[in-house]
Amino acid sequence: MLTPRRIEIFKAIVDEYIKTAQPVGSKALQQKYHLPYSSATIRNDMQALEEMGYLEKTHTSSGRVPSTAGYKFYCENLLNEAQIDKKMEVAIKSAFDLTSMNIDDAVHESCQILSEMTNMTAGAIGPEASSQKLEHIKLFEIDNRNCICVFITNTGHTETKKFYFEDEVSFKDLENCIDILNTKLKDVAIDQLPDRMEAIRPILNEAVVQHDVLFTAFVKAFVKFASDNIYFSGKDRILYQPEFEDITKLKKLMALLEDGTARSWKQLDASDNAVAVTTQQGTQLTWINDVAVVRTSFNVSEGEQGQLLVVGPRRMNYDKVVSMLNYAAHTIENMYNGNKKDKGGDDSDESDG
């Protein structure tokens, strides 16, 4: 029953609603989009679309608004990934071309760009801690009061922690401690490090003088290491979305954004009322009540992947957001792999200026 005309009308409704955030009526739609059907015809089709679940009314005699199912249908079938904003392209390119010595910084910068250009909140989630194993711990002495500990994983990912010395703790003691950890914790999954520490405690107690302090310091470091990296930019931007003038909605979303643990984001699709779609390009769209989350993964090494995401109201310009996100993710991926593969083989380069 989904005739081409109904699809045309549906798309027009979604596009219009995305622009205005107001329920759209048959007559206004006909006029604004110069549809060659009478408002009565449009009304009939609207009714049919409502019965199919793609549209809904805010009250009995109001205009129509896309439902979650409607957005889902739209993103599955009507998305036209075409125009990547020129400004966006330039901004991301410049962020990557020259920062290329530090991936974290580059990811942060692209989040900021994404947030700025979509006027919503953008974020990044690092590779899962459970997929990595501890390879080696290195210790570097800065001076007699500070040193740096570097945790290296089997995938080449590194994490650092500064140690600030109290007089009672000797450098020798710390070295000792790390030697033990290196023998006992090699090849342990990152997310299991905190648990494993407990088993090592008695060994440390014997061999290390300041075992208590060092033990807790390392446990804390491991807990932090094990908790997935998550970063958000432009959390305040959602304040400017009209759907979040309702403070109670805002509170829920803000609590999620401020939470800072990746868990809730990873298990997004399992939430109540969650509706999800994956596009051909691999972009994941998830709707939960009033908010939409658009995610794209990028590979950082074999088996490991991070995610870029944009969070906003259901009503957003999906065309734009999806293509931006893909562009950013591709750029990051190229950067990660640029030094492993040959630079010359760029497979998909569609546009240039």
Partner DNA sequence: ACTGGCAGGCAACGGATAAGAGTGCTAAAG
Partner DNA sequence: CTTTAGCACTCTTATCCGTTGCCTGCCAGT
The verdict on 12 binding DNA (CB under 7 A) reads no
- State the minimum distance, in angstroms, from the CB of residue 12 to DNA: 12
The verdict on 180 binding a second copy (CB under 8 A) reads no
Q: Which stretch binds DNA (CB under 7 A): 25-33, 70-78, 101-109, 318-326?
A: 25-33
* Nearer to a second copy (CB atom), residue 61 or residue 302: 302
Burial category of 298 from C-beta neighbours within 10 Å (exposed 0-12, middle 13-18, buried 19 and up): buried
The verdict on 51 binding a second copy (CB under 8 A) reads no
- State the minimum distance, in angstroms, from the CB of residue 55 to DNA: 9
Q: What are phi and psi of 208, to 5 degrees?
A: -115, 135
* Nearer to DNA (CB atom), residue 50 or residue 109: 50
DSSP 331: H
Binding mask 243-282 toward a second copy (x if CB under 8 A, else -) reads --x-x--xx--xx-xx------------------------
Q: Name which of DNA, a second copy, none residue 140 binds, using a CB cut-off of 5 to 8 Å depending on partner kind.
A: a second copy
* Nearer to DNA (CB atom), residue 20 or residue 144: 20
The verdict on 34 binding DNA (CB under 7 A) reads no
Q: How far apart are CA 302 and CA 300, in angstroms?
A: 7
- State the minimum distance, in angstroms, from the CB of residue 234 to a second copy: 7
Residue matched to tokens 């998305």: 79
Instruction: State how far Cα 95 lies from the chain centre.
Output: 18
Q: Which residues pair with 278 in a beta bridge?
A: 284
The verdict on 39 binding DNA (CB under 7 A) reads yes
Contacts of 129 (CB under 8 A, 6+ apart): 189, 190, 191, 225, 226, 227, 228
Q: How far apart are CA 336 and CA 305, in angstroms?
A: 11
Q: Which residues pair with 304 in a beta bridge?
A: 301
DSSP 144: S
Burial category of 244 from C-beta neighbours within 10 Å (exposed 0-12, middle 13-18, buried 19 and up): buried
Structure tokens at 342: 């040959």
Q: Which residues in this chain contact a second copy in the complex, by CB under 8 A?
A: 98-105, 138, 140, 142-143, 145-146, 148, 150, 152, 156, 158, 160-167, 169, 212-214, 216-217, 220, 224, 234-236, 239-240, 245, 247, 250-251, 254-255, 257-258, 338-339
Q: Which residues in this chain contact DNA in the complex, by CB under 7 A?
A: 5, 23-28, 36-41, 43-44, 46-47, 50, 57, 59-64
